[in-house]
Amino acid sequence: MYLRENYLAHDPSQRHGKRTVHPYEWKDAPYDPEREPKVLEVVQRANDFNVGNGFVVPVPSRTAALATSG
């Protein structure tokens, strides 16, 4: 579902991981549910599968910030 619906492009946690070097919880990744309905859909689907939260440690690289989550 994640790949089929292209949720990666709308995942607030992935987006936030590219903007920070500080660890964070998925639930703390900012988004505007009114202006970003597809992002809200990603968050709701994650909650449907009981993966509504996790911990991300961004790992910066020369080309981009890479996120490791768990």
Per-residue pLDDT reduced to its tens digit, 33-49: 999 999 999 999 999 99
- Residue 19 inside a domain? The answer is yes
- In the three-class reduction of DSSP (H, G, I as helix; E, B as strand; rest coil), residue 43 is classed as helix
- Residue 2 inside a domain? The answer is no
As a whole number of angstroms, the distance between CA 50 and CA 65 comes to 26
Per-residue model confidence (pLDDT) at position 69: 54
- Residue 28 inside a domain? The answer is yes
For the entire predicted model, the pTM comes to: 0.76
> Which residue is it, tokens 């500080």?
22
Domain range for residue 39? 7-69
- Residue 61 inside a domain? The answer is yes
Mean pLDDT of 12-39: 94
- Residue 1 inside a domain? The answer is no
Mean pLDDT of 18-46: 94
- Residue 60 inside a domain? The answer is yes
As a whole number of angstroms, the distance between CA 33 and CA 48 comes to 17
- Tally the domains of the chain: 1
Q: What is the mean pLDDT of the chain?
A: 88
Give the CATH number of the domain where residue 60 resides: 3.30.450.80
